[in-house]
Amino acid sequence: MKVGILSFAHGHAHSYAKSVLALSTRGVQLVAIADDDVARGKAAANQYSCGFYRDYQELLKTDVEAVIVCSENARHAEMVVAAAEAGKHVLCEKPIATTQKDALRMIRACKENGVILQIAFPVRFSRPIARLKEMVDERKLGRIVAVRGTNRGQNPGGWFIDNALSGGGAVMDHTVHVIDVMRWILKSEVREVYAEVDTHFTSIPTDDCGQLVLEFENGVFASHDPSWSRPASYPTWGDVTLEVVGTSGVTNVNAFAQHFDYFGQGPRPYSHQFWGDDMDYLLIRNFVDVVEGKSAPLITGVDGLRALEVALAAYESGRTHKPVPVHRAVLE
């Protein structure tokens, strides 16, 4: 199976490339990288010993079977649609797109061309998070009444703080991950969002913090803190946590708690040495399994769409300071 990566604009592209290489014993090959930033793309191609294309359309003319899209958020739609029309299966970095219209266009193109569209929500592959889902499914916590989630990280800078390329700041970047996990665990959609969205920690032209209050269709209430509140000296890029309250119990989960505390020398003497699940590797392995017909998709383009719709509703609520119903697109 031959895989290409379209753009290294997103930092996760390196983790995905390494994950593809780790599957070489299964015959999976990273054969090409496309990037309109020539220096960045050539450096990645040299690092991973594969071909380089400045124009992603040229890569799509090759015999790759699948591509991983890691471009700026606003370019996801054009690349995914082009890949679908070229008959390539697609794993797309989150968020699926910056608008509902583009997300629908991507889903439709992949369906019409008979290719797979998966969205990069690796947190579903965290063992602690998966164990939480099992507990909820087995009703060990009783009926779930409330959930509190966080995704607090560092400001990535660059195109992430340019709304024209990112579609939004911290709320866009960090809401979709946790909303996807909440939807997956609760098996319900978000009905309404009230959000406060602001820029507090840095002087940037987009939001770096927010607070969301959510009501799900099944009656569960939830809150979420998506922020870029962690300083550069923080021992890791951020967190993903959930507190789930049920009628029979309460549990807390930290997806990144599987680490050692490391104290050493240098500019960052304290750091976390993570020993737990390599979620990116498990995400890529699952994508390969789906492409090879060995597994049903765990994450779909529709999951990406539903998470995006909540983020967009949060921004609308932040502008109006009123609760906003989530406008869910009707799928064909």
CB 41 within 8 A of CB 35: yes
Whole-number pLDDT of residue 156: 95
What digits encode the pLDDT tens for the residues 191-232?
A: 999 999 999 999 999 999 999 999 999 999 999 999 999 998
Question: Nearest Cα to 299, choosing from 172, 136, 121, 127?
Answer: 121
Q: pLDDT at position 238, please?
A: 84
Tokens found for residue 120: 């990069």
- What sign does the CA torsion over 132, 136, 137, 140 have? positive
Contact 98, 106 (CB under 8 A): no
250-283 residue pLDDT tens: 999 999 888 899 998 887 788 888 898 899 999 9
What are the DSSP calls for 123-140, one per residue? GGG-HHHHHHHHHHHTTT
- Residue numbers of the chain with a pLDDT score lower than 50: none
Residue 228: partners with Cβ closer than 8 Å, 6 or more residues away: 152, 153, 154, 155, 156, 169, 170, 173, 174, 201, 202, 208, 209
Helical packing angle, 38-47 and 12-22, nearest 10°: 30
CA 164 vs. chain centroid, Å, equals: 19
pTM over 0.85: yes
Of 13, 26, 282, 310, whose CA–CA distance to 172 is shortest?
310
Look at residue 125 in the predicted model and tell me its pLDDT: 96
Interatomic CA distance for residues 331 and 326, integer angstroms: 15
Alpha carbon distance 225, 152 (integer Å) = 7
The pLDDT score that the predictor gives to residue 234 is 86
| Cα 281 from Cα 22, distance rounded (Å) | 8
Tell me the helices (H) and strands (E) count for the chain, helix number first: 10, 15
Calpha distance 50→40 (Å, rounded): 14
Hey, what are 230's tokens? 């962690």
pLDDT of residue 133: 98
Q: Where in the chain is the domain with CATH 3.40.50.720?
A: 2-120
Residue 303's pLDDT is: 98
- Provide, rounded to the nearest whole percent, the portion of the chain with pLDDT above 70: 100
CATH code of the region 2-120: 3.40.50.720
Rounded to whole angstroms, the Cα distance separating 37 from 175 reads: 28
The 3-state DSSP class for residue 73 equals helix
Please enumerate, as own/partner, the contacts of 315-321 that have beta carbons within 8 Å and a separation of 24 or more.
Answer: 315/168, 315/171, 315/172, 315/195, 315/197, 317/193, 317/194, 317/195, 317/197, 318/171, 318/195, 318/196, 318/197, 318/198, 318/207, 318/210, 319/197, 321/196
In this prediction, residue 267 carries a pLDDT of 78
pLDDT of residue 265: 85
Q: Where in the chain is the domain with CATH 3.30.360.10?
A: 123-273+300-325
Bridge partner list, 51: 32
User: pLDDT at position 271, please?
Assistant: 86
Superfamily of domain 123-273+300-325: Dihydrodipicolinate Reductase; domain 2 (3.30.360.10)
By the 10 Å C-beta count (0-12 exposed, 13-18 middle, 19+ buried), 248 is classed as: exposed
